[in-house]
């Protein structure tokens, strides 16, 4: 009797453990949440919104809602190769302090940049940094930065805002009005100076003359 009870209890226990194991295992296999953004990007296809329309908000818009703390957290991905403190050492990649606004592939205590990145020219503005961090190899084919890129557009903006806050502090671009088309490839080095010309319209002297002809009265005196 006692023996039999133990046998039954043993099977019950074993069954319970097996069921638990199965539910954990199936949970791992079948309960994986669908990521907010899929981990791969199809060339030339922008991320689709739920409605199906392609929407990657312009970098200016994404920067306006960028989260520095999240950017700093994401920057951990970069720290295998980069320091970002002022005067930090170059590693596999160059120190990134004050990089925003600086010449692309220049300075950085003599870091040996690839010819591919040096050939890009110009300086790091928000658009270029966004393109670079989307896909380094596409931005500078042959670059030695062996980093796949950050597919999530807002995460990129967070990282760029964080980069900018480390020694650069470029003024953030004004977010375009909602619905405005994203400006692609604004590759010029405008330093946000902007000819702030005040409106110097010369005041008209005297009252503008009203057109007398318009006032011509057709005196049609009917009946
Ligand atoms: C596997 C190492 C590695 C990782 C990870 C990496 N980088 Fe780099 N990075 C490099 C190398 C190497 C270069 C130099 C590229 C060249 O010369 O072609 C570079 C260059 C750069 C430059 C250009 C600097 C300049 O002065 O022109 C920027 C900006 C940059 N990385 C940002 C980042 C950011 C941001 C991340 C994380 C999201 C990141 N990198 C992750 C290795 C890396």
167-218 pLDDT per residue, tens: 999 999 988 776 555 555 444 444 444 444 444 444 444 444 444 444 444 4
Measuring CA to CA, which residue among 70, 77, 54, 189 is closest to residue 133? 77
Mean pLDDT of the chain: 78
Report the 10 Å Cβ neighbour count for 106.
Answer: 15
Residue 56 phi/psi, 5-degree rounding, is -120, 110
Q: Which atom of ligand 1 is nearest to the CA of 74?
A: 38
In total, the chain counts a number of residues equal to 223
From residue 182, give the alpha-carbon distance in Å to each of 46, 153, 188.
13, 13, 16
Mutational pocket test of ligand 1: of 70, 79, 81, the residue with most ligand atoms within 8 Å of the beta carbon: 81
Q: What is the pLDDT of residues 48-85, one digit of tens each?
A: 445 555 679 999 999 999 999 999 999 999 999 999 99
Could you give the C-alpha distances from 181 to 30, 55, 151, 178, 219, in angstroms and in order?
40, 10, 21, 9, 54
C-alpha 81 – ligand 1 centre gap (Å): 7
Q: Give the pLDDT confidence of 136-177 residue by residue, as tens digits.
A: 999 999 999 999 999 999 999 999 999 999 999 999 998 877
Residue 59: CB atoms within 10 A of its CB come to 26
Residue with CA nearest ligand 1 atom 27 = 105
Determine how many CB atoms are found less than 10 A away from the CB of residue 55.
Answer: 13
Give, using CA atoms, the residue closest to atom 6 of ligand 1: 78
- Cα–Cα–Cα angle for 214, 218, 222, rounded to 5 degrees: 150
CA 147 to ligand 1 center in whole angstroms? 8
With beta carbons less than 8 A apart as the criterion, state whether 106 and 133 touch: no
- 82 CA distance to ligand 1 middle (Å): 7
Rounded to the nearest whole angstrom, what is the distance from the C-alpha of residue 46 to the centroid of ligand 1?
A: 24
- Structure confidence by residue, pLDDT tens digits, 25-51: 666 655 555 556 655 554 554 444 455
Residue reference for tokens 């005041």: 203
Measured between alpha carbons, how far is 114 from 111 in angstroms, rounded to an integer?
9
Ligand 1 pocket (Cβ < 6 Å) reads: 77-78, 80-82, 92-94, 96, 99, 104-105, 108, 113-114, 116-117, 133, 143-147, 150, 159
Confidence of residue 10 (pLDDT cuts 50, 70, 90): confident
Q: What is the rounded distance in angstroms from the CA atom of residue 10 to the CA atom of residue 30?
A: 29
Predicted local confidence at residue 13, as pLDDT:
76
CA dist 65 and 15 (Å) reads 52
| Closest atom of ligand 1 relative to the 150 alpha carbon | 38
Q: How far is the CA of 35 from the centre of ligand 1 (A)?
A: 26
- Alpha-carbon gap, residue 105 to 144, rounded angstroms: 12
- Measured between its terminal Cα atoms, the distance across the chain in Å is 129
| Residue having the nearest C-alpha atom to atom 40 of ligand 1 | 78
The two tokens of residue 11 are 């099977």
């Amino acid at each position: 009797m006692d023996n039999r009870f133990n046998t039954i209890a043993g099977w019950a226990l074993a069954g319970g453990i097996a069921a638990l194991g199965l539910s954990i295992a199936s949970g791992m296999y079948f309960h994986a949440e669908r990521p907010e953004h899929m981990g791969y990007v199809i060339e030339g296809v922008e991320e689709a919104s739920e409605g199906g329309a392609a929407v990657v908000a312009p970098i200016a818009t994404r920067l306006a809602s960028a989260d520095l703390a999240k950017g700093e957290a994401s920057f951990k991905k970069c720290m295998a190769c980069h320091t970002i403190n002022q005067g930090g050492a170059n590693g596999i990649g160059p120190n990134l302090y004050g990089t925003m606004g600086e010449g692309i592939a220049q300075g950085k205590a003599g870091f040996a940049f690839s010819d591919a990145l040096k050939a890009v020219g110009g300086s790091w503005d928000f658009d270029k940094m966004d393109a670079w961090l989307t896909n380094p190899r596409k931005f500078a084919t042959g670059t030695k930065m062996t980093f796949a890129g950050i597919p999530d557009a807002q995460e990129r903006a967070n990282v760029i805002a964080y980069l900018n806050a480390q020694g650069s502090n470029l003024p953030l671009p004004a977010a375009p009005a909602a619905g405005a088309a994203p400006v692609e490839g604004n590759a010029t080095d405008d330093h946000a100076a902007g000819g702030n010309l005040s409106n110097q319209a010369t005041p008209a002297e005297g009252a503008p003359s009203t057109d007398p002809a318009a006032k011509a009265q057709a005196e049609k005196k009917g009946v």
